[in-house]
């Protein structure tokens, strides 16, 4: 399984793109950055966008991807996929013909470049060639993380979350996982801000680690650009053998 890091940050900065990952060239896991990280031909290969929640830093690339697809005579639609409240947020607040065109009717309802699919929480579904289970995490809006595998290998993706339980339990129960992609947003001195916005700091991450499968490496994403160096330095001191900050633009193989 191939995971390309299109964007790795919890917002945007100069050369620092919001979070998005592309699995096996076909399935986006969050869509904070898409056209800014991929050529036209690569964008046209995308079939599914798994979305953890509707915050802009996770979906704005989907808005621009649908625009690309509409003006380049798309081969196929991209299917925005999540639990019902997230799909509803996208329809109601993003692709609503106000904030952005309703690409689920463009160029026509029959040939639209954007489709929607609702997944059931805690139930494994087939998405392209992958198996995907959305599991609730604890953020300020309806949010899921995903357990993703192809029958041989796989990973856990936390979504944006503060301290949480169920997704780590699911990760402990499934064999064959190779990595946990987990958010960390702020340095530990900003504990109050992290709690209010339901994100993790390195100190909070070290508590979450006790709930995760102990043998898996942690791949960190979603550090806020403004606090990147400070947070990265803290993380590097914790457990260099196990904790790795993902690099934007790089492709990882599981």
Q: Where does this chain bind Zn ion (CB under 5 A)?
A: 55, 57, 160
Between 55 and 136, CB nearer to Zn ion: 55
Between 62 and 112, CB nearer to Zn ion: 62
Q: Retrieve residue 222's tokens.
A: 């979603």
Q: Retrieve residue 129's tokens.
A: 């060639």
Between 71 and 141, CB nearer to Zn ion: 141
Measured CA angle at 67 (ends 89, 24), to 5 deg: 80
Between 56 and 203, CB nearer to Zn ion: 56
Strand, helix or coil for residue 106 = coil
Residue with tokens 């969050």: 30
Between 57 and 208, CB nearer to Zn ion: 57
Residue 1, C-beta contacts closer than 8 angstroms, at least 6 positions apart: 23, 24, 150, 153, 154, 155, 253, 254
Between 47 and 57, CB nearer to Zn ion: 57
Nearest to 212 by CA among 175, 253, 165, 252: 165
> What is the C-alpha to C-alpha distance for residues 22 and 59, in angstroms, rounded to an integer?
14
**Shortest distance in whole angstroms from residue 160 CB to Zn ion:** 4
Between 57 and 234, CB nearer to Zn ion: 57
Burial class (CB in 10 A: 0-12, 13-18, 19+), 154: buried
Are residues 48 and 79 in contact, defined by beta-carbon separation less than 8 angstroms? Answer: yes
Are residues 135 and 144 in contact, defined by beta-carbon separation less than 8 angstroms? Answer: yes
> What is the C-alpha to C-alpha distance for residues 153 and 1, in angstroms, rounded to an integer?
7
> What is the C-alpha to C-alpha distance for residues 186 and 179, in angstroms, rounded to an integer?
22
**Shortest distance in whole angstroms from residue 39 CB to Zn ion:** 25
Strand, helix or coil for residue 54 = coil
**Shortest distance in whole angstroms from residue 58 CB to Zn ion:** 5
């Amino acid at each position: 399984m191939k995971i390309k890091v299109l964007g790795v940050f919890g917002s945007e900065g100069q050369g620092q793109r919001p979070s998005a990952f592309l699995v096996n060239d076909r399935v986006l896991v969050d869509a904070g950055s898409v056209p800014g990280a991929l050529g036209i031909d690569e964008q046209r290969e995308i079939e599914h966008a798994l979305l953890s929640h509707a915050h802009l830093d996770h979906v704005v690339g989907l808005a621009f991807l649908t625009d690309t697809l509409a003006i380049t005579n798309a081969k196929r639609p991209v299917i925005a996929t999540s639990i019902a409240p997230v799909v509803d947020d996208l329809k109601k607040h993003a692709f609503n013909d106000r904030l952005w065109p309703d690409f689920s009717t463009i160029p026509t309802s029959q040939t639209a470049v954007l489709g929607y699919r609702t997944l059931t929480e805690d139930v494994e579904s087939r998405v392209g060639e992958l198996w995907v289970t959305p599991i609730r995490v604890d953020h300020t809006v309806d949010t899921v993380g995903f357990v993703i595998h192809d029958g041989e290998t796989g990973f856990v993706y936390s979504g944006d979350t503060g301290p949480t339980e169920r997704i780590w339990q699911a990760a402990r129960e499934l064999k064959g996982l190779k990595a946990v992609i987990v958010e960390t947003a702020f340095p530990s001195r900003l504990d109050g801000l992290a709690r209010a916005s339901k994100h993790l700091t390195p100190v909070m991450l070290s508590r979450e680690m006790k709930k995760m499968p102990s043998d898996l490496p942690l791949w960190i994403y979603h550090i806020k650009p403004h606090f990147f160096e400070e947070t990265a330095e803290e993380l590097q001191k914790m457990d260099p053998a196990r904790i790795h900050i993902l690099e934007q633009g790089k492709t990882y193989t599981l």
